[in-house]
Amino acid sequence: MSTDRRKLDHIRICLSEEVEAGASGFEDVVLIHSALPEVDLEKVRLETRFLGRRIAMPVFIAAMTGGHEEARKINENLALAAQELDIPLGVGSQRAAIEDERLADTFSVARKVAPEAYLIANLGAVQFSKGYSVKHAEKAIDMISADAIALHLNPLQEACQKEGDTSFEGAGEAIAELCEALDVPVIVKETGAGIAAEEAALLQEAGVSAIDVGGAGGTSFALVESYRGGELGRRFASWGIPTAVSVVECSTSVDVPVFATGGVRSGVDVAKAIALGASACGIALPLLRHAVRDSESVVRALRRVECELRVAAFLTGSRSVEELSRARHVILGRTREWLEARGILR
């Protein structure tokens, strides 16, 4: 099956089937309530820095789609929302447009309608162990005049996909070469199975500018692939490191910014992730369901997240994102057990 048809399958499945699995771990994180916050809610500041750029809040629209004509309108609506809200947008994998330049407009529309937004290009790291070069990465960046590029890691999805690419040999070396050669920041992101401390350290050594944990507890691409006939995907639907766990593992083992995606469903989740060590949080599936309608629906959904985040900061006595990163919190349940078993919490 062609890459563009596969991308269309993914959109339709995510919109019509139950594709979320497992728990993100945020349910085990409790922010300590401040009965005397000494903060004016109206003065809480959510502005922060994202790879050198000021953004309005520590939230970005995570990579979703592209590479099929039906995805063009989705990316347009997401980009319009990113422009209005002054937050970053990551486009979906651009492999289809690398293979067929006629599909480039399904991605480049993002820059056309959002000339000032922070845009993140996207290619699979596995492709660079199968013949892609720096020129392919530069082509993806130029396609949307990107401010950064994300290299996604998806071994679980590839293993569960009928036509998956499962040879990741040399992917780490390729990431290091791209970090050295490219003129924009390189983000490495997982796609629903999380990143452990050991791999985070290897990625920092390779020179990445940021790590997006892409943890378990949100969209399961193993489950998505199961709807395409890959029965193996159901067996591995809950495989991976929960997002909250992955944020702690990565943020305590590297010095580069850590982004939290995977099961982030509210402004309270964002606040918890920031308190755990994330610099920003990405949201995807909930916004896809709005983006098929119009950009205004996407904006309204993100405004709710913004409101919830502001209130959560207020209730922890935090005046800013920086203060929220130091907010008192406790970690309970399976998440605490996991982190204790790994020697991260004692």
Domains of the chain, by residue range, sit at 3-341
pLDDT digits (tens, 9 = 90+) for 24-35: 999 999 999 999
User: What is the C-alpha to C-alpha distance for residues 162 and 264, in angstroms, rounded to an integer?
Assistant: 28
Q: What residues contact 190, with CB distance under 8 A and at least 6 apart?
A: 152, 153, 154, 212, 213, 214, 215, 246, 262
Cβ neighbours, 10 Å, residue 151: 25
- 327 backbone dihedrals φ, ψ, rounded to 5°: -60, 145
Cα 26 from chain centroid? 16
Question: Which pLDDT value is given to residue 67?
Answer: 74
Q: SS3 for 147?
A: coil
Of 190, 217, 185, which is closest to residue 334 (Cα–Cα)? 217
- Which is it for strands 48-50 and 29-31: parallel, antiparallel or unpaired? unpaired
Q: Of 2-6, 120-124, 235-239, which gets the smallest average pLDDT?
A: 2-6
Question: Which pLDDT value is given to residue 2?
Answer: 57
Cα 201 from chain centroid? 19
Question: Which pLDDT value is given to residue 291?
Answer: 96
Cα 275 from chain centroid? 18
Question: Which pLDDT value is given to residue 229?
Answer: 82
Q: What is the tally of helices (H) and strands (E) in the chain?
A: 16, 12
Specify whether the CB–CB gap between 130 and 98 falls below 8 A. no
pLDDT reading at 165 higher than 90: no
Tokens 């082509």 identify what position? 139
What pTM value is reported for the model? 0.96
Q: Which residue has the higher pLDDT, 72 or 165?
A: 72
- For the packed helices 171-181 and 134-144, what is the interaxial angle rounded to 10 degrees? 60
Q: Which fold has domain 3-341?
A: TIM Barrel (3.20.20)
Q: If you ran DSSP here, which 8-state letter would residue 219 be given? A: B
Longest dimension (CA), the chain: 59
Average pLDDT over residues 104-122: 97
Q: Which residues pair with 59 in a beta bridge?
A: 281
Tokens 């939290």 identify what position? 260
